[in-house]
Chains A and B, each alone.
Chain A
């Protein structure tokens, strides 16, 4: 036993898969220790806030602040002057200031602003320059002035008695705050989802639930598959025929369809997380049955089994002591695959709206379903669904690697 485990961990593929899987598991258990927020707390008031640190606006404005010799006016100019404004400026410079078109570079905001300041004359009267247009240019000029000056913004407080506004503070263009000084802040590493929930915290909770669904579904599928396979393979005859007929039937009829039919029929009230795991387990056993049966058939007529039979051992004893140990490694491998396909089944079922009908917990599939229903994939909110896809892929990647590694250890013919 010890030797086998040693051998298994010598396989590079198994080790890589194992490490990834253990890391995912570890994050699922360690993260909630440090981040104790409710994973389904709707903290954002709108949907799909970008990833980043959100600091309290009020606190940042009232903070003492520091002065850095770094004027913010330049980036302010860039935000104040859109494509439309730049085109207007270009038009004015060409038509009324007599500057050649090739001397104006619309893409260089700084240069065009400089040209504007040199050439703009608010009192200019020219043909075709209506007063409405002149006013529009004046407004444009004012907004440029506004963006250029670094005198800052005045924050006023309302006097409680008289209702008068009193100057409380002036924020200069060179004023900065250290984010460490701000107490009220929250970092959303992966932004928020459509309900304004912290995606990362939700994802960790969802991964845990999905792993549980996979585990339960895998256990049920393996148990059913193992029992049916053992019985079919060992007993043979009519029993074998019946079981194999059913198995063949359910391999050809897509399990996804049966999954849909059952999930829809149980209704939304009964469809909890456990129910979904149970249904997935009950629809995915044929694979295991098939392979366990063929393994058992090859073992059935081995000498040690015949010896047991001659010694008058009961069927259960023969199955448990003479057959099961020989297929144990195989069953473990099959179960690993069942877990991975269980997680995927849940995700797919949830995506067509037949996942766990609950708002109390999140699963990977439900997160995907919510993101799609709120069109995250069309409005560019990648943080709401890419992490989910990556987690699903990583879980199934790690489980499959472990399976391949085990396969190579127990099946020497496959070794490279």
Chain B
């Protein structure tokens, strides 16, 4: 375990640094642009007012509140202090609801949807890819082109297909929302049943998309490994096939885990858009309402939360990788 300390320490430090940069970007990027958000906010607030002294007063109020008369770094620390307290300001589109409240209710839907979906999709994809590489023949020939095509359908496309087939045509799954529109969230059997019913389509659309990409990657990695010299050598030595296959798939798995870490951001981005199709009450739909409602505080809170979520997920994957890949351990003991 001693060897891991350095590895984990490095990883944690690196992710902390990334987090700081991500937070700075989240603050700076919008403010670098010509139409800075605070004056846009003030302009929105005074829209419809005619009394010039009142307008001036409101604008001064906003200037005071966001500190735009202060230098940029002071503004940043003011903003950071508020964010750390969980204060993201008040939403425009759902005034006077605080942004933190909206985010708090949306973020769990997204986590509960995407985390299991990506894990299940990743596992199923790897298993299918490994089987395809090992068996080859008809299974491989039939399943590979199918997955090749499926993996190229965008997540929102898969969402519309599932929605059309299972909800509009067959009518066996609800079309939109996270629970029945006639229900109020509570802990009762009807509510839980409704949530599970609404969960299926978004869940499977993310799973199917993930399976396609992972299966192809795993298949080619496994074929590559199956042809490796150590496999041939082991066969000559007469080691049992099942044992060799175990090693092969473990080795083929490792790049897949790295691949997962690298593509998590893209996957989550795609899945967020798929949420919109189902009007799922998660962060994706919240992003859409923020954009259509020109709700800057909500939008910036959403992007910050999503970034933090992706960072945490990435960190977890990398930490797991350290445990699974023996080379990491070996490196540390040198």
Task: List residues of A whose CB falls within 8 A of some B CB.
Answer: 248-249, 251-258, 260-262, 264-267, 270, 341, 344, 347-348, 351-354, 368, 372, 377-378, 380, 382, 385-386, 389, 392-393, 396-397, 400-401, 413-414, 416
**A253 with B25, Cβ < 8 A, contacts A260-B299, A413-B224 known:** yes
Q: How far is the CA of A397 from the CA of B306 in the complex (A)?
A: 28
Residue with the greatest number of chain B CB neighbours at <10 A, chosen from A377, A380, A392, A413: A377
A397 touches B149 (CB 8 A): yes
A372 touches B277 (CB 8 A): yes
Q: Which chain B residues border A264 with CB–CB below 8 Å? A: 30, 291, 296, 299
B139-150 CB mask vs A (1 if < 8 Å, else 0) is 000000000110
B320 to chain A, nearest CB (A): 16
A261-B29, A400-B148 given; name 6 further pairs at CB < 8 Å: A248-B14, A253-B307, A254-B307, A352-B291, A378-B168, A386-B164
Specify which of A256, A257, A270, A353 is in contact with B291 (CB 8 Å cutoff). Answer: A353
- Ordered by A's residue number, 22 sampled pairs between the chains whose C-beta atoms are within 8 Å are A252-B311, A253-B310, A254-B265, A260-B287, A261-B25, A261-B26, A261-B300, A261-B303, A265-B35, A267-B35, A348-B270, A352-B272, A352-B284, A377-B160, A380-B164, A380-B168, A382-B164, A385-B160, A389-B157, A393-B154, A393-B157, A401-B148
CB-CB nearest in chain A for B296? A264
Asked if B292 CB lies within 8 Å of chain A CBs, one says yes
Asked if B266 CB lies within 8 Å of chain A CBs, one says yes
A348 touches B152 (CB 8 A): no
Residue with the greatest number of chain A CB neighbours at <10 A, chosen from B154, B163, B276: B154
Residue with the greatest number of chain B CB neighbours at <10 A, chosen from A352, A382, A397, A414: A352
Q: How far is the CA of A214 from the CA of B160 in the complex (A)?
A: 23
CB-CB nearest in chain B for A263? B291
Q: Which chain A residues border B154 with CB–CB below 8 Å? A: 344, 347-348, 389, 392-393, 396
**A254 with B306, Cβ < 8 A, contacts A249-B18, A378-B175, A386-B160 known:** yes
Specify which of B25, B176, B223, B264 is in contact with A258 (CB 8 Å cutoff). Answer: B25
Specify which of B29, B164, B269, B296 is in contact with A254 (CB 8 Å cutoff). Answer: B269
Specify which of B34, B149, B292 is in contact with A393 (CB 8 Å cutoff). Answer: B149
B225 to chain A, nearest CB (A): 11
Q: How far is the CA of A353 from the CA of B148 in the complex (A)?
A: 29
Q: Which chain A residues border B26 with CB–CB below 8 Å? A: 261
Q: How far is the CA of A196 from the CA of B34 in the complex (A)?
A: 36
CB-CB nearest in chain A for B31? A265
CB-CB nearest in chain B for A13? B148
CB-CB nearest in chain A for B158? A389
CB-CB nearest in chain B for A254? B265
Residue with the greatest number of chain B CB neighbours at <10 A, chosen from A252, A253, A389, A413: A252
Q: How far is the CA of A267 from the CA of B291 in the complex (A)?
A: 11
Main secondary structure of the interface of A (DSSP, over half): helix
Q: Which chain A residues border B164 with CB–CB below 8 Å? A: 377, 380, 382, 386
A267 touches B276 (CB 8 A): no
Main secondary structure of the interface of B (DSSP, over half): helix
Q: Which chain A residues border B34 with CB–CB below 8 Å? A: 266-267, 270
Asked if B37 CB lies within 8 Å of chain A CBs, one says yes
B52 to chain A, nearest CB (A): 25
Q: Which chain B residues border A254 with CB–CB below 8 Å? A: 264-266, 268-269, 306-307, 310
Q: How far is the CA of A9 from the CA of B304 in the complex (A)?
A: 46
Q: How far is the CA of A382 from the CA of B169 in the complex (A)?
A: 11
A252 touches B30 (CB 8 A): no
A348 touches B269 (CB 8 A): yes
Q: Considering the complex, which residues of chain B in the window 242-298 have a beta carbon less than 8 Å from any beta carbon of chain A?
A: 262, 264-266, 268-270, 272-273, 276-277, 284, 287-288, 291-292, 296
CB-CB nearest in chain A for B287? A352
Q: Which chain B residues border A249 with CB–CB below 8 Å? A: 18, 21
Q: Which chain A residues border B149 with CB–CB below 8 Å? A: 393, 397
**A258 with B266, Cβ < 8 A, contacts A353-B291, A400-B148, A413-B224 known:** no
Specify which of A261, A352, A392, A416 is in contact with B288 (CB 8 Å cutoff). Answer: A352
Q: Which chain B residues border A400 with CB–CB below 8 Å? A: 148, 151-152
Q: How far is the CA of A254 from the CA of B265 in the complex (A)?
A: 4
B107 to chain A, nearest CB (A): 15
Q: Which chain A residues border B300 with CB–CB below 8 Å? A: 261
CB-CB nearest in chain B for A267? B35
Asked if B170 CB lies within 8 Å of chain A CBs, one says no
B305-326 CB mask vs A (1 if < 8 Å, else 0) is 0110011001000000000000
A243 to chain B, nearest CB (A): 15
A261 to chain B, nearest CB (A): 5
Asked if B22 CB lies within 8 Å of chain A CBs, one says yes
Q: Which chain A residues border B314 with CB–CB below 8 Å? A: 252
A353 touches B160 (CB 8 A): no
B224 touches A393 (CB 8 A): no
B30 touches A257 (CB 8 A): no
Residue with the greatest number of chain B CB neighbours at <10 A, chosen from A264, A344, A386, A414: A264
Specify which of A265, A380, A382 is in contact with B29 (CB 8 Å cutoff). Answer: A265
**A252 with B168, Cβ < 8 A, contacts A261-B25, A377-B277, A397-B148 known:** no
**A378 with B307, Cβ < 8 A, contacts A256-B266, A397-B148 known:** no
A256 touches B29 (CB 8 A): no
Q: Which chain B residues border A377 with CB–CB below 8 Å? A: 160, 163-164, 168, 175, 277
A256 touches B224 (CB 8 A): no
**A253 with B22, Cβ < 8 A, contacts A267-B34, A378-B175 known:** yes
CB-CB nearest in chain A for B306? A257
Q: Which chain B residues border A385 with CB–CB below 8 Å? A: 160
**A372 with B276, Cβ < 8 A, contacts A257-B307, A353-B288 known:** yes
Asked if B161 CB lies within 8 Å of chain A CBs, one says yes
B192 to chain A, nearest CB (A): 25
